[in-house]
Amino acid sequence: MSQEWKFTTKDIAEKPDLFLSGHRACAGCGPATVLRLIMKAVRGPTIVTNATGCMEVVSSIYPYTSWATPWLHTAFETAGANAAGIEAAIKILKKKGRIKQEQIDVIALAGDGGTYDIGIQALSGAVERGHDFLYVLYDNEAYMNTGIQRSGGTPLGASTTTSPAGTVIPGKLEPKKPIADIMVAHDMPYVATAAPYYWRDLITKVRKGLEVNGPAFLHVFAPCPRGWRSDPAKSIELSRLAVETCMFPLWEAADGEYQLSAPSKVVALSPQKKKPVKEYLEVQGRFRHLFTPKFEKMVDEIQRITDEKWQRLLKRCGVKLST
Amino acid sequence: MTSQEKSWKEVSPAGVCWKPSTEFLTGDWKTYKPIRDLEKCTRCLLCVLFCPDGAIHWKPEKEDIEFDYDFCKGCGICANECPTNAIEMKLE
Amino acid sequence: MKDVVKQEVLALNGDEAAAYAAKQSDVDIVAAYPITPQTIIVEKFSEYVANGEVETEFVCTESEHSAMAACLSASVTGARTFTASASAGLALMHEMLFVTSGCRAPVVMAIANRALSAPLNIHGDHSDSMVERDSGWIQIYTENAQEVYDSIVQAFRVAEHQDVLLPVIVGLDGFTLSHTLENVNVLPDGVVKKFVGTRKLPQVLTHEGKAVPFKLDPENPMTMGPIAMPNYYFEFKRQQEEAMKNALDVIKQVHEEYAQMSGRRYGNGLLDAYHIDDAEIVIVCLGSTAGTVKTVVDELRASDVKAGLLRIRTFRPLPVKEIVEALENVKAVAVMDRCMSFGGNGGPVYHEVRHVLYDANKHPYIVNYIYGLGGRDTSPSQIRRIYEDLEKILQTRSVENPIQYVGLRELKEEE
């Protein structure tokens, strides 16, 4: 592993934005911040390919573009396949002496729609073939761009337009698909989770993913105030709460070796820092129905499942809690 | 907008975009405007990093932060995250 | 008048001919997924890669949809791209075909024409590519393995031409052409490489305000495949249509240049006519069946019947002017369709030939024969009966059954 990139806050703040202002994302958009931060971690010539979704649409309304890097959008399912095609083309054109750059990084960007569900085949195939690229999943936990419909990444109990909380059913009844664990099971060089509040951790992981030889997968938590019916001002704070409640723990797995990241380690080692899931759920309109007498038992269920998954993760990361 | 729109003979193949989004000002979206208290501000630069629109800039030559109200949508993330509560969202 | 280049004769089936042509054409990327009857193309090409015979990156994608996405992406990164598919595979690519032509990526694809499910059928008919006729891809249908080879080489030049920039499908009948061994004249490697040349990219205006080569390149960043609102989408589609129009001339030019070099031509590249000048009864068809029809035409001509054949080689763009010229003075035309258009009152080629002749000065009788679906063989005697039907139409001056099915088993009449 090459020397870890050391950077100061000023270094990052001074780096020019490659994801330009003037995009049409909602005020307070979590994914937009995530994208800005990801592009700050770029280390040289980079080509970005984006699946259909919020970030693709808001950044490429013809004739305007928010991309200072070469950027390609083709379809919803194809982030992984696009990255494969671009990476293979770069490889062969370099061999034939038709590309002058020494190294061109390829980043595939997709939302939870284009990753968990319709895009999982292309992602899995590209990873299996070992293409050298970084796949970043910006997870706002539903098909936000088309109107907040549920995805495989929508968490248990969340109300979406295709899993609405009604009088009989309390939102989505299925748990969130463990996409990052699925990617670790691909025996791939690098998998990590990140959240925008912990920007230093996020940027470090993006850079690690770019530096790795072969495929890398980064699962980034990206709150959506519109879809989650949360305060636009709290989008970054929500990402912190998600980590502190262990609903979205931060870890990385280099060659399958799980390692808990600092922000989650803090929670693991100081149990008083672990917040109850209620604190995270109650500030989001999509979970509002869980605070009615009929469905309040679900909050306990969510707490139980969260704790179980947390314990399993701690075991994988080899973190022993002092009892 | 219409007078600037291109004919079918002029558009680029594959829809290659010919304007950066920095020509599209989103500042008029906001209802609340972030106002910074220069004394409380420690120049920690968190607001610069967290702004979804990149509407807050660190100006090294001025050694200070500058708000770009042409792009600020008034979401309030900067105010919410500021560790010293130096930013207040005021009605425009 | 240039000398015809000396060529080697190899025993190749249609699939092998396609792979060989791609091998010689300095292809950079092949991203493909296997499907009968195209498998030999990808297998052969994999062999070339494994033996270092080509400088090509071969991506074995996990589906055809991803194959087309990868081809498109590689193509807009500046790579010359080739792939192949058939039937359900092409159908699975459907969405991406439109994206590829919309992105003006000059991908060349061999289609081993095969029937669509259900029921499952692995044999030849034209349903797969016919249904993609609106996708903005140029479509060329070949009659024999030789033409497969020649057409693939020409396809790169046509696709990459600055006035075209459209992807090309070269169709070869499943099993009849894909798996049947023929003597194929192949040009020397160097000659093909020179003919296809290196890919030249047009200049496009980007958001940085300058005109740069049309490809993904960090040196000159550009955004491709944006969302175009109702105020712009239409203009892009009109542009594609213009490219199709330009393709008519480009196909003819490339075909002629290749003909001078190889000594082989297929009509004028758009249509391949056989005994059409004074023909009174003509069959219009695509693909390998034309070969069978030619045998029957020869027999009929020997008995002084004025029979002829019009093989449409380039189906998209549709050679309107040429079809009208060829058929205007013919008296009766039987259009053979190896594809159904359910509920559409006949097959697609029938529709197109008819509509094209509507504005002509004279109108021959035009009837439709649906044939060969799911790989059903069509014999010379069945073709002969079609010509007999046309003669009957001229005698009786009426059409009893405008749409008929060749070789379909009907219920046996009670005695």
The domains found in chain B, sorted by start residue, are: 25-91 (3.30.70.20)
A with B: how many residue pairs have Cβ under 8 Å apart? Answer: 117
Amino acid at C234: F
Helix, strand and coil content of chain C, in percent to the nearest 5, comes to 40, 20, 40
pLDDT confidence bin for C224, thresholds 50/70/90: very high
Pick the range with the lowest mean pLDDT from A1-15, A256-270, B22-36. A1-15
- B13 and C242: CB-CB below 8 Å? no
pLDDT surpasses 60 at A33? yes
Nearest 10 degrees: CA dihedral of C327, C293, C351, C175?
A: -150
pLDDT surpasses 80 at C1? no
- C28 and A125: CB-CB below 8 Å? no
Distance from CA of A17 to the nearest CA of B (A): 7
pLDDT confidence bin for C314, thresholds 50/70/90: very high
Residue of A170, A135, A164 whose CA lies nearest to A148: A164
pLDDT surpasses 60 at C249? yes
pLDDT confidence bin for C412, thresholds 50/70/90: confident
pLDDT confidence bin for A291, thresholds 50/70/90: very high
What's the token pair of residue A27? Answer: 């005020």
B with C: how many residue pairs have Cβ under 8 Å apart? Answer: 64
pLDDT digits (tens, 9 = 90+) for C25-40: 999 999 999 999 999 9
SS3 at position A71: strand
Mean pLDDT of chain A, nearest integer: 96
Residue C238 in contact with partner chain B when CB distance is under 8 A: yes
- C66 and A125: CB-CB below 8 Å? yes
pLDDT surpasses 80 at B2? no
Report how far Cα A109 is from the mean position of its chain's Cα atoms: 9
Spatial CB neighbours of C12, under 8 Å, sequence gap ≥ 6:
C20, C145, C149, C181, C182, C184, C186
pLDDT at B4: 74
What's the token pair of residue C341? Answer: 């258009």
Distance from CA of C206 to the nearest CA of B (A): 4
- Which of C130-146 are b and which e, b meaning 16 or more Cβ less than 10 Å from the residue's Cβ? bbbbebbbbbbbbbbbb
- C226 and B15: CB-CB below 8 Å? yes
pLDDT surpasses 50 at A1? no
Report d(CA C14, CA C148) in Å as an integer.
Answer: 6
- CB contacts, 8 Å: B53 with chain A: 21-23, 25, 32
By C-alpha distance, the chain B residue nearest A24 is B26
SS3 at position C198: coil
Residue B12 in contact with partner chain C when CB distance is under 8 A: yes
pLDDT at B1: 43
Report d(CA A210, CA C407) in Å as an integer.
Answer: 61
pLDDT at A2: 53
- A21 and B60: CB-CB below 8 Å? no
What percentage of residues in chain C have a pLDDT greater than 90? 98
- C218 and A69: CB-CB below 8 Å? yes
Superfamily for the A9-317 domain? Thiamin diphosphate (ThDP)-binding fold, Pyr/PP domains (3.40.50.970)
One DSSP character per residue, C277-324 reads TT-SEEEEE-TTHHHHHHHHHHHHHHTT--EEEEEESEEES--HHHHH
pLDDT at C415: 44
Phi, psi of A6 (to 5 degrees): -100, 130
Residue A263 in contact with partner chain C when CB distance is under 8 A: no
Report d(CA C28, CA A117) in Å as an integer.
Answer: 31
Phi, psi of A227 (to 5 degrees): -75, -30
- B9 and C206: CB-CB below 8 Å? no
pLDDT at B13: 86
Residue range A180-209: mean pLDDT, rounded: 98
Spatial CB neighbours of A102, under 8 Å, sequence gap ≥ 6:
none
pLDDT surpasses 50 at A169? yes
Residue range C264-288: mean pLDDT, rounded: 97
pLDDT surpasses 80 at A75? yes
In chain C, what are the domains?
A: 8-204+212-262 (3.40.50.970), 271-405 (3.40.50.920)
pLDDT at A322: 58
In this predicted complex, what is the ipTM?
Answer: 0.96
What's the token pair of residue B71? Answer: 């792009």
Residue A30 contacts residue A231 (beta carbons within 8 Å): no
Report d(CA C155, CA C93) in Å as an integer.
Answer: 20
What residue spans define the domains of chain A? Answer: 9-317
Residue A139 in contact with partner chain C when CB distance is under 8 A: no
